[in-house]
Structures are given as structure tokens and as C-alpha cells.
Chains A and B, each alone.
Chain A
Amino acid sequence: MSWSSLSLGRRLLWVVLLGTLLLGISLVLGLCLGSTPAGWRRNLAALLGLSGPHDVLATIIWRIRWPRAVLAGLVGATLSLGGLVFQALLRNPLADPYILGVSGGSAVGAIAGLLAGLAPFPGVALLAFMGSMGTLMLVLVITASEPGARKNSLLLAGVMVNAFCSAVIIFLVSITQDARLHNMLHWLMGDLSIAAPGQTTLLICLLIPCFLAILALARPLNLLLMGAETASYLGLNVALTSRILLVVTSLMVSVAVCQSGLVGFVGLVVPHLFRLRLGPDHRLLIPACVLGGGSYLIMCDVVSRVLPSQGEMPVGVITAMVGAPLFVLLLMRSR
């Protein structure tokens, strides 16, 4: 029995089962590993709530590591899914979830917030979200006159807006002199350390509907992969579907990024990894990206917390350091 001879239902079941298992394992790792080492027995007791209400380890696990692991999972899932959608929509293998200017806009907003001395949540997050919405609007307005949002003009508009924003960022960074500089660099490379319980609940409420909306559009995405013309011959309203996907995806990426900073690479690599293994069917790829991308970022966050002997490093460093070689390896083996 080879993979391709299985029915779609079977394959979907396997993907969901394995993905959930992977997510479960990474969540447990995310809860049990950190700068305070403890034996597996104590970890287990704290995880199951057997250690009593005043146990320090239980506090650490449920009030510090748990919100952080959830944030990492959600951000990882969002970015992978975002990358997947944009790669299909723009038919460009280099597309990533930030391609429509989301990264530049949110970074400018976040840095302005940090300069103003706001708290990471809700202040900086709100400004970052407003920034990314601003650039998204700009890109959509620039390309509005084009019939059916031609993919190349979208790409170019996004790249230009991002380039302009990075100039603004460099300007803001260069006029900053004090401790806030450190915060900015961390934000630009992705920083999950601010995760707090209330924030993650909000994120779950905002992101899960977006995931479901994209899942519902899995079949149209498959059609779009054949090119806009073929898709419209097959009865798809290409312009409308593309617009919906663009807006929903950018919206959810903005929601995630405004809380986590610019975690790079996840959105570029995870969809490709799964496409290499599972083929181009989005009905499989969407659940795989949500579960796998989430697990990937949780694991990377664990590494970023455990690896340095003191403090922690931005998670974006790890996602790229692990992701790039992994991807090259898979690419070579798939030939």
C-alpha cells in the first residue's frame, strides 16, 4: 500500500492523527522543558495537578510555560497556513505570509509603540496590528484598478511597501539609543516571551475561525493552482475567491504577528516540507500545516529557551537555523 493509493479520507485521517500526536508531544515538551530543570516524575505530577496548589513547578508550568507554548503553537500554525495560501494564490514558491506588506507595517507599528514606551500587550500589539492593516489596505488600493488582482502586481506592491517600511524601521532603530533598542531587535526577530494567559485566549477566538474559513476554501485553492483561466472555466469566481483568501489570510497573520514579532522562515518552509511529502492537495495540506507548523514553532521555542545558558534567544534565530538545512535535505532526497 503506497501513500497515493490510499483514499482521500484515509490520507486525511493519517495526517490529522499524526499531526495531533506531534502537536501533543511538542506541547508536553514545551511544558516540561525550560530554564528550571526538574525530573520527569515531578514534571508529571505538576502536569497532572497532583503536586498541590503551592508547588512552584506547577506555577511555572501552567502560568509561564503554558501560555507561551499555546502562543507558539498558534503563531506557528498561522504562519504556515499563511505561507501555504500565498504560495498557491500567487503561484510563487518564494511567497511567505508577510508578502502583502504585513511584516513591514506591523514592525513599524510595533517599533513606534516600543519607542512610546507602551506595554507589549495590548499597546504594542495594537499598534502593530494597525500598522499591518494600514499596509494591507495600501497594497489592496494600489492593485484595485487591476482586473482580478493580478498576482504580479500584488507581489510587487507588497515587496515595495515592505521595502519602504524597512527603511522606516532602520531609521527608527538608528535614532534609538537606550535599552529599547534591545526590545526592538527582539521584536524584529520574533519574541514569544511576553505570552500571558489572557492574550492567548483572545488569539484562539480570533484565529480558529480564520483556519476554518481557509479549510472551507481548500477545493477552490486546488482549482486556483491550475491557473486563473482554467479555474474560471471550471466555474470558480476567481476574483472573489482570491480577494477573500488574501484578506482572511493577511488578517490572521497580522493578528498573530502583532503578538509574537516577526518570526521568520516558518511560513516559507513548513508548507514546502508538507508539499514535498503529501503532494499538492490542499485538503490535506491545510490540516497538516496547522498541526505541523504549530508543533514546529513550539519545538523551536523550547530550543530557544533551553539552549542558551542564560536568558533566551529570539525564536526566529532557531526557526531559520533548523528550518533551512532541514528543507535543503528534504529537497535533495526528493529528487
Chain B
Amino acid sequence: MKFFRDMRILAIIGVLGLVAGWLPGSAWAQVHVDQSGRRVDVPASPQRLVTLAASLTEMVFALGAGNRICGVERFSDYPPAARDLPKVGSYISPDLEKIVALRPDLCLAIKDGNPRYVVDRLQSLGIPVYVVDPHKVTGVIATLKEIGRLLNVEGRAGKLAAALTHRYQRIKGLAAQAVRRPRVFFQIGISPIVSAGSHTFIDELITTAGGLNLAAGKVPYPRFSQEQILALQPELIIITSMARGGGFEQVKAGWESWQTLPAARHHRIFLVDSDIMDRPSPRLLDGLELLFRLIHPELAGELSGKLP
């Protein structure tokens, strides 16, 4: 008899579960496998998103779904409309309480940045978290399409991805025409001097734009001494604004005083916006085009004009 009683309880639980599935707000959820290999139940067309990285905020806005975001990570500053959205703390230690209070039906997270335990904790609080892990520019474009599918805006995502791929291929083609690869030192930290090694977006952008990354190597973000840079003889020094407000003019003047540096002799020391160089967002293509203009000014003429 006990067996039958247990079965009855199971049946009731099953029916309750079915009813719960029909409860308002929950269109049929679909099981997706995200880029970190987790299985996630994503609603058919999520309407309340929390983006846990600035790059994800940019992606969702680029897909025309910015109005569905109800909360963003603290550094989400692009497009300007993102600045007015409620902030949910930093990407490393997001404010769980605030996220729960916003009642999102989907959280977007990034594998290199949002710690795994944060993702698990949110999931345990009943919020589906979809983790992406884009590497390389092509990975960013593929991720864009994937998020487009999740958000039910596949058409727009497809068009955007095609346009970005076109721009990427064009730079690649132009860079192939260059006779030589200028030596580039890309400085992302002022004190200590830090650059970007292989397998970083910055390295990919420099290489694709036809430059030679002097910091290429196993260490992702290697440190350098002033002495080493003089020895490396960079033809271009590109400094990002990552150290915001951090006396760029002084750093530039510092490098210019070393006339043994080819970059200083030819006045090829530049400041660029770090956000378009290291965020895995559609703006990476802006970064790529900008780098191409700086590294190969002789070929940049071909770039201006016709956009698809």
C-alpha cells in the first residue's frame, strides 16, 4: 500500500509541476547548452535581462534589444543609454541582492570575468544564467548570433554578423597587401608597464591589422621595464586609456624624450580608447579599423568610403 501512496504523491507533484509550467510569465522554457557547457533553461523570448559584463550590455544593445535590459554591470557605459540603467555591482562581485530584486528572466554572463561560483549562486536562486566565452573576433561574431537566437532576434543578429564579418575580411585582405609588418608596442598599463601577449584580443587586432606585436608570447599580460622597450625598438607605441585620466600626455612625453626609439623619432605614439580594443563586443571592429589606420596609414585610403 505504501508504494501506491508514494505513487499518488508523485502524481500530485507531477500535476502541480505541469500547472506551474503554465503559470503567467513563463512561456515554454527551452533547454540550451551555454558556451561553458552548462545546461540552462532559457524562456522562449526573455524580456528582463541582466548583463554581467559591459561587453554583454553592448552586444544586447547592438542587437536592438537594449530596452529589455533591466540591470547592467557597473562599467557598462556604452551605448550612452546603458549608463542610466540600474547597476548591479562589478563583474567580479555582483550585488546578488540587487539582481534578485530586479526579477530578471535571464542573466548573461561571461566565462573570463564572472566567477563560476557567482554563476552557480544566481542559478541556485532561480535565475537562469547563460554564460558565453568568446575568443577571437570570429568568436565574438558567433556569440552575437547565439545571443540573437536566445533573444529571438535572429534576423537582426544575422545581418549584424554579416556586416561585421565583411569588415573583418576587408581589413584582413588589405593587411595582406602590406609590404612589411611594423613593430608595435601596445601599452595597457602605465606603472608598471604592461602589454598584451598572444591569445588576447589586442594581439589578434594588432596581427590582423598587419602589425607585429612585440609582446607576443605565452604570458597574457606581461610586464616590461623601460629598458626592455628601448631594446625592442618599437615603430609604434599605442597606449590605451585604461588607466583613465592617468596622465597620458606625460607618458607620451616620456617616450618622446627617447630619440633612440623609432616611434618617438617618427611621432608615432598614439592614445586609443581601451574599450574598443579589449571588450569582446561589436566595437572590436572599430578598434581593428582604427589600428589598421595607425599601423598602415599608407593603405588607409582604401578603407574610407564605401561601407556595405
- Measuring CB to CB, which residues of chain A are less than 8 angstroms from any residue of chain B? 34-36, 56-57, 59-60, 63-65, 119-121, 177-179, 182-183, 186, 193-194, 196, 310-312
Contacts and interface: CB of A to CB of B under 8 A. Distances in A.
A152 B103 CA distance: 57
B97 interface: yes
Nearest to B117: A119
Contacts of B101: 35-36, 56-57, 60
B243 interface: no
Interface in B64-103: 74, 87, 89-93, 95-98, 100-101, 103
Residue among B113, B115, B125, B221 with max Cβ neighbours from chain A (10 Å): B115
Contacts of B95: 35, 310-312
Contacts of A179: 91-92, 113
Contacts of B74: 310-311
Given A59-B100, A64-B97, A194 B117 contact: yes
Contact of A177 (B96, B103, B221): B221
B152 to A, nearest CB: 25
Contacts of A311: 74, 89-90, 93, 95
B267 interface: no
Contacts of B125: 59, 63-64
Interface string B243-268: 00000000000000000000000000
Interface string B213-224: 000000011010
B181 to A, nearest CB: 26
B221 A183 contact: no
Contacts of B91: 179
B97 A60 contact: yes
B194 A35 contact: no
9 contacts: A34-B97, A56-B101, A60-B101, A64-B97, A120-B117, A177-B220, A177-B223, A194-B117, A310-B87
B233 to A, nearest CB: 25
Given A64-B97, A179-B113, 17 more contacts: A35-B101, A36-B100, A56-B101, A57-B101, A59-B125, A60-B101, A64-B96, A119-B115, A121-B117, A177-B223, A178-B220, A182-B93, A183-B92, A310-B74, A310-B87, A310-B95, A312-B95
Contacts of A182: 90, 92-93
Minimum-distance CB pairs A-B, first 7: A36-B101, A119-B117, A311-B89, A177-B221, A35-B98, A60-B97, A34-B97
A75 to B, nearest CB: 18
Contacts of A310: 74, 87, 89, 95
B38 interface: no
Contacts of B221: 177-178
B32 interface: no
Given A56-B103, A311-B89, A35 B97 contact: yes
A196 B121 contact: yes
Contacts of B126: 59
Contacts of A59: 100, 125-126
Nearest to A191: B93
